Amino acid sequence: MPKILVTGSNGQLGSEIKELTNNDRNNLYFFTDRDSLDITDQKTIKSFIATNRIDTIINCAAYTAVDKAEEDEANANAINHLAVKYLAEIAKEKNIKLIHISTDYVFDGTNYRPYVESDPTNPKSVYGATKLAGEKAMQEANPANSIIIRTSWVYSSFGNNFVKTMLRLGKERDALGVIFDQVGTPTYAKDLAQTILDIVPQITNEKVEIYHYSNEGVLSWYDFAKEIMYMSKLECHIKPIETKEYPTPAKRPYYSLLNKAKIKKEFGITIPYWKDSVNACLKALGEKR
């Protein structure tokens, strides 16, 4: 029976994987968080993997506080870079399959067409830089049967995210300004979780491969907020604002659209349209009206 370690299991993606595998009797899962397994401690990871005879790692753990990372680079680097390095080195040594989740923030957001996996990276934030460092460390270790999946604008019925924030503010306020000049595609964590579970048995590659995943379609944060209010029947007027009107410590990419052709072709998956996924998430939250 395959033994699968899922790190960051209390986050959005980890929680979705946990829920989807609740009745899975074909695999044995080990769900860990920072309290039960410190992935920034190489000896601790090695011991856990050896003791439990892990043969697959799905690394959902990440330092995702984008703005906080600007002043907390050491911790962001420990989780987003060094922990990935340790996991990759152990995966190489023990011949363990590794699936690592990365981000659109490795790009600078100046593209004019959807980013493909081979496009030059140029992160503009500490978060993006540490995530890219993690990618490079994994590629340098180069464990076989291992992949990196970059994703964007993740939301879920679990954790804190844009959808939940809009629902809360939509009930509290009559009007709300939301950025319209940052463009990309949201990712429903449940869709990504299902894709990961579907492709894990299919992964067979000699060197680390990178894939892009988000839902289908293109929109701005303004469009996203409008649709959440519409589907939830909340009477909150959404006003478009420019990024410069909402300054943040960390720079966000203006353009985060990811080309998903590679993952769809190589693994034969179908990716849901973003509106359908928002609808599914709102139903899960009991907010569909």
* Residue 278 covered by a domain: no
**Whole-number Cα distances in Å, 169 to 163, 176, 219, 255:** 10, 8, 20, 25
* Residue 223 covered by a domain: no
* Residue 202 covered by a domain: yes
* Residue 115 covered by a domain: yes
Please, are residues 153 and 186 in contact by the beta-carbon 8 Å criterion?
A: yes
What whole-number distance in Å separates Cα of residue 22 and Cα of residue 7?
16
* Residue 136 covered by a domain: yes
* Residue 226 covered by a domain: no
| Tens digit of pLDDT at every position of the chain (289 positions) | 889 999 999 999 999 999 999 988 888 999 999 999 999 999 999 999 999 999 999 999 999 999 999 999 999 999 999 999 999 999 999 999 999 999 999 999 999 999 999 999 999 999 999 999 999 999 999 999 999 999 999 999 999 999 999 999 999 999 999 999 999 999 999 999 999 999 999 999 999 999 999 999 999 999 999 999 999 999 999 999 999 998 999 999 999 999 999 999 999 999 999 999 999 999 999 876 5
Terminal-residue alpha carbon distance, the chain:
43
State pTM to two decimals: 0.96
Q: Of the listed 63, 86, 127, 222, which one is catalytic? A: 127
* Residue 27 covered by a domain: yes
Here the CATH number for the domain that contains residue 105 is 3.40.50.720
Give the number of domains in the chain: 1
* Residue 141 covered by a domain: yes
For residue 1, the model assigns a pLDDT of: 84
Instruction: Give me the domain span that covers residue 108.
Output: 3-160+186-216+257-271
Please, are residues 43 and 95 in contact by the beta-carbon 8 Å criterion?
A: no
Does the active-site annotation cover 127?
A: yes
Q: Of the candidates 83, 267, 283, 80, which has an alpha carbon nearest to the alpha carbon of residue 190?
A: 283
